A and B are shown apart, each in its own frame.
Chain A
Amino acid sequence: MKDYFYLQYIRTERKLREAGINPYLAYLLGAMAFVGLSEYIFYQSDYAEYLVLLTCLSLLLNLSERNRIDFLQSTFGKKRKTVIRLVENLALSIPFIAILIFKNAYIECAILIGLTCLSAVLSFQTNFNHSTPTPFSRNPFEFTVGFRKTFLIFPIAYALAMIAIIVDNLGLGIFSMLLLFLTSLTYYLKPEDEYYVWVFSDSPKSFLLKKIRVATKSISMLTFPLALLLLIYFPGEFHLILLFFLIGILFLWAIILAKYSTYPDEINILEGILIAICIYFPPMLLLTIPYLYSKSINKLKLILNDKN
Chain B
Amino acid sequence: MIKINGLSKSYGKNEVLKNIHLEFETGKVYGIVGENGAGKTTLFRCMAGLESYDGEIVSEVNPLENHLGLLLTDPFIFSKITGKEYIRLLCNARGKTNIDIESRNIFDLPLGQYASTYSTGMKKKLAITAILLQENDYFIFDEPFNGVDIQSNIILIEIILKLKALHKIVLISSHIFSTLSDTCDEIHLLRKGEQIKSVQRPEFQTLEQEMKSFLIGDRIEKLELK
Contacts and interface: CB of A to CB of B under 8 A. Distances in A.
A49 B131 CA distance: 50
A199 B90 contact: yes
Interface in B47-96: 48-50, 52, 62-63, 65-67, 70, 72, 75-76, 78-82, 84-86, 88-90, 92-95
Contacts, number: 70
Interface string B106-126: 000000111001000000000
A266 B137 CA distance: 33
Given A129-B114, A138-B88, A201-B93, A305 B65 contact: yes
Output the residue of B75, B85, B90 with the most chain A CB within 10 A. Answer: B85
Contact of B93 (A131, A200, A302, A303): A200
Interface residues on B, range: 20 to 34
A140 B114 contact: no
A199 B76 contact: no
A46 interface: no
A149 B80 CA distance: 7
Contact of B81 (A145, A195, A200, A303): A145
B63 A308 contact: yes
Interface string A183-203: 000000000111110111110
For the residues of A in contact with B, the DSSP-based class is loop
B113 A198 contact: no
A146 B9 CA distance: 38
Given A198-B48, A305-B65, A193 B76 contact: yes
Closest 3 A/B residue pairs (Cβ) = A201-B66, A140-B85, A305-B63
28 contacts: A137-B82, A140-B81, A140-B86, A140-B88, A140-B89, A141-B78, A141-B81, A144-B80, A144-B81, A144-B85, A145-B80, A145-B81, A148-B80, A192-B78, A195-B70, A195-B72, A195-B75, A195-B76, A198-B48, A198-B70, A199-B90, A199-B93, A201-B65, A201-B67, A201-B95, A302-B52, A305-B66, A307-B63
